[in-house]
Amino acid sequence: MISYTPKTLQEIPACLGRMTEKDKIIGGGTDLIIRLNMGLSKPDALCYLGYVDELKRITEEEDRLVIGAYATMTGIENHPAVKEYFPALMDAASDVGSLQIRNNGTIGGNIGNASPAGDLLPVLYLYNAQVEIMGAEGNRVEPIEQIIAGPGRTTLAYNEAVTRIFLPRPAFVSSFVKLGFRRKVTISRIGIALGVQMDGDYVKDVRLVIGAISLKPVRLTAAEEFLRGKPLNESNIMEAARILSDLIMEITPREFDRDYKVFASRGIVMDAFKRLRRN
């Protein structure tokens, strides 16, 4: 198997130009290496962009955060600007798997895998992330919603790679909470990314994005509309949780998963609002 390892941004297009539909672009390798070892993926070539310094950086600009696709979960979790302005992203990055996975797993890999249980995807939807994509013929920028096509599927061509993610600085406070099979090293069964902007005692704006209940993250617009203009008290939060449980009843096909998630959803919504107050 051939390995391509460009060292600069200028070398990436040539690397991508040599890729075929069978080949793979590798990030931190936390998922792909398992597939390679199990014989589930048999590429003729791998393209690794992790030697390009620009793709590992996290840069704070005046009105946005720029995250290189090869920034690790640990790097994201510990970055001062992430802690200050993007606490839901900090929450999600710190909840990904084990310490070893967080040290190696990348934000670009989370996008490229497009797993419904990907912890960062609901958060990227929450923040209206824009994704820079590099190909053999040049660059383009797309909203995250247009990148994720379904479970394990993106709109990227085989010779395109995620290079940077742009997050506009939000006007809201945010949080992320997930529920999994175990307390640690767990894969999400439900993940909630929440953003709330208050005007005094009343909700001026709110965004609720749910992960791991459908083929890709879902905006809970009915709950958002209900909460806008209302005080953020327990009864209103519980009504938002009920709206989520109704949505789960509609879109979760397997009865076991559906019943469990309906039962658990109300508690996880309350947890998301509690964490939001701490943030």
Give the model's pLDDT for residue 151.
92
What is the mean predicted confidence (pLDDT) over 54-79?
Answer: 96
Give the model's pLDDT for residue 253.
60
Beta bridge partners of 175: 194
> pLDDT digit string (tens) for 141-191?
999 999 999 998 999 999 999 999 999 999 999 999 998 544 444 455 789
> pLDDT digit string (tens) for 11-61?
999 999 999 998 888 877 777 677 776 776 777 888 889 899 999 999 999
CA 105 – CA 118 distance, rounded (Å): 11
Instruction: Select from 168, 176, 217, 218 the least CA-distant residue to 196.
Output: 176
Helix (H, G, I), strand (E, B) or coil at 113: helix
Percentage of the residues of the chain whose pLDDT score is greater than 70: 92
Give the model's pLDDT for residue 257.
66
> pLDDT digit string (tens) for 219-247?
999 999 999 999 999 999 999 999 988 88
Give the model's pLDDT for residue 24.
85
Instruction: Select from 274, 265, 226 the least CA-distant residue to 246.
Output: 265
Give the model's pLDDT for residue 188.
55
Give the model's pLDDT for residue 183.
46
**What average pLDDT does the structure give for the chain?**
89
136: pLDDT confidence band, cut at 50, 70 and 90? confident
1: pLDDT confidence band, cut at 50, 70 and 90? confident
pTM score:
0.91
Angle between helices 234-251 and 255-278 (to 10 degrees): 150
Q: Among 99-108, 112-121, 139-148, 183-192, whose mean pLDDT is lowest?
A: 183-192
Phi, psi of 126 (to 5 degrees): -55, -45
Give the model's pLDDT for residue 42.
79
Instruction: Select from 47, 55, 52, 61 the least CA-distant residue to 75.
Output: 55
Strand segments, DSSP code E, in the chain are 2-4, 24-26, 45-48, 58-60, 64-68, 130-135, 138-143, 148-150, 153-154, 160-168, 173-180, 188-199, 202-211, 218-219
Residue 115 has pLDDT above 60, yes or no: yes
Domains in the chain, please, with CATH?
2-168 (3.30.465.10), 173-277 (3.30.390.50)
Contacts of 98 (CB under 8 A, 6+ apart): 184, 185
Residue 207 has pLDDT above 80, yes or no: yes
Six token digits for residue 30: 């936390």
Percentage of the residues of the chain whose pLDDT score is greater than 90: 62
